[in-house]
Amino acid sequence: MLFNSFQFLLLFLPVVLLVFVFLARTGNTEAQILWLIAASLIFYGSWNPAFVALIVFSAAVNFRIGQFLATTLNEANKHRWLVIGILFNLGLLGYFKYANFFIENLNALGIWFIPLPEITLPLAISFFTFQQIAYLVDVRRGKCKEYQFRHYALFVVFFPQLIAGPIVHHREMMPQFENVRRRDELWPDLAVGFTIMTIGLFKKVVLADSLAQYADPLFGTAANGGALNAIDSWIATLSFSFQIYFDFSGYSDMAIGSARLFGIRLPENFRSPYKAKSIIEIWDRWHITLSRFLRDYLYIALGGNRNGSTRRYRNLLITMLLGGLWHGAAWTYVVWGGLHGIYLCLNHGWRALCDKTGITRSLESPLLTLVYIICTFLAWSLALVVFRAPDLKTSISVMAPGFTEFSIQQNYLLNSTVATSTLGKFFEALGFASGSYLSVYLTLGVSAVVIWVLPNTQTYMRAFDPALGATGDASRGLVNMQWRPGIMNALITAFMLSAGLLSLSAISEFIYFQF
């Protein structure tokens, strides 16, 4: 059941919310919790009912291990139970997500042949696995109190963040679940949550899906052995870079907004990453909760930066390689993670050199800041080509012409039939030819304005505490807009909602749903 579907927006969510509001008026918090658990399992089971048993089993085992960790006083037993819990979670993830990947690579060596088992990847297993590993480690560290199983079950299966995050901490959510909603907060939460959801829907179905109409055929041409020229190459690169930006930003907004309808604040997960001045900074802004997990539970566990620069760089590379593999069982994701490991090592090395030589302050100016942002964006976007391509050969076919082919011949998009996107239809209504280079450039231009000129959603909604950890002032953009209840903002929201609903005829999954 996709967030960007009539089934979710016009049936599931209204019914769940109406029953929840009714229960809120009775003051029965436990009934609200049980209702949200039931609704979340229906949400998860709508894709494949068989895997409801898997997520319930996983939650039950982790809760029981958490009880052992919380109650035993013997340090050796605590360590033993933590290892058992981590191995249990990684075992489930490894079997469902990586078994065929490793068997395929063993078969490729030609030493023996192992038939590939028919394994269906359970939805969201990467996310609820990391979430529960973090829970076990936090219990071991004494950071989690003991709760009843129904509270823990809601922490695992709460549908707004179940499929693709944010990856939440037990200590962030439990206090909120204990007091789900006070009656005096009902209407403010509904107004703020609905607005954030609408912004996310617009980003996904109008902006991201419009950009996909240009990125997909170009990547498809390269994958099928077709030749791209320089224009094709850069359109493919920029279109997908902007597409995944709006796709994941839109998902994060819809997750945060739908949770807010129930009075729950999820952590901020996306903070204008393309305004970052370095790769280090971009990882503090992109999928913030995943970056937090990789830092706190992998990088620091490996030693972090405590044992000298050499081991620090080694730990960065290992963390990013495993972070890349977490995204998918394919060598493209491993290479993508390795590229970011190299990026981070170079970035940290450059910072260390600047600090050592004392030239940091001389490298700060508005012009150099713009250069840093552009260079960071281009490095990130080129790595995304590897992330998007089905194999490494295709990624080279997409990137190489952008640096080696400088002919001015018409590009692929001008010589092929490309499905008209939502923004393409809008430009066509203004007199621009659908699918033409001008339509492509206008779509990219609109995307760039939204990314670099307008404030992000959390900044726009900053007066109403939209998410846990939202800084509000971090990325205002060049236009200082702020949401307040009123006619103008109601009209803007109504426009975005209308455009979003009218674009739901062609349903597409969020990119991060595949992880």
Q: Which residues are catalytic?
A: 327
Residue reference for tokens 């209204």: 14
Q: Is 144 left (phi over 0), alpha (psi -120 to 50) or beta?
A: beta
What is the Cα–Cα distance from 321 to 327, expressed in whole angstroms? Answer: 10
Residue reference for tokens 């963390």: 319
Peptide linkage before 14 cis (omega within 30 of 0): no
What is the Cα–Cα distance from 13 to 43, expressed in whole angstroms? Answer: 10
What is the Cα–Cα distance from 332 to 340, expressed in whole angstroms? Answer: 12
Assigned token pair, 54: 């898997």
Burial of 453 (0-12, 13-18, 19+ CB in 10 A): exposed
What is the Cα–Cα distance from 102 to 98, expressed in whole angstroms? Answer: 6
CA distances to 28, 34, 135, 180, 185 from 38, rounded to whole Å, are 16, 6, 22, 16, 23
What is the Cα–Cα distance from 122 to 240, expressed in whole angstroms? Answer: 26
Asked if 317 contacts 299 with a C-beta cutoff of 8 angstroms, the reply is no
Asked if 474 contacts 447 with a C-beta cutoff of 8 angstroms, the reply is no
What is the Cα–Cα distance from 371 to 351, expressed in whole angstroms? Answer: 16
Task: Spell out the long-range contacts of 281-289 with Cβ–Cβ below 8 A and sequence spacing 24 or more.
Answer: 281/376, 282/376, 282/380, 283/340, 283/344, 285/475, 286/248, 287/165, 287/248, 288/166, 288/469, 289/165, 289/166, 289/167, 289/168
DSSP three-state, residue 264: coil
| CA proximity to 329, closest of 18, 73, 34, 94 | 94
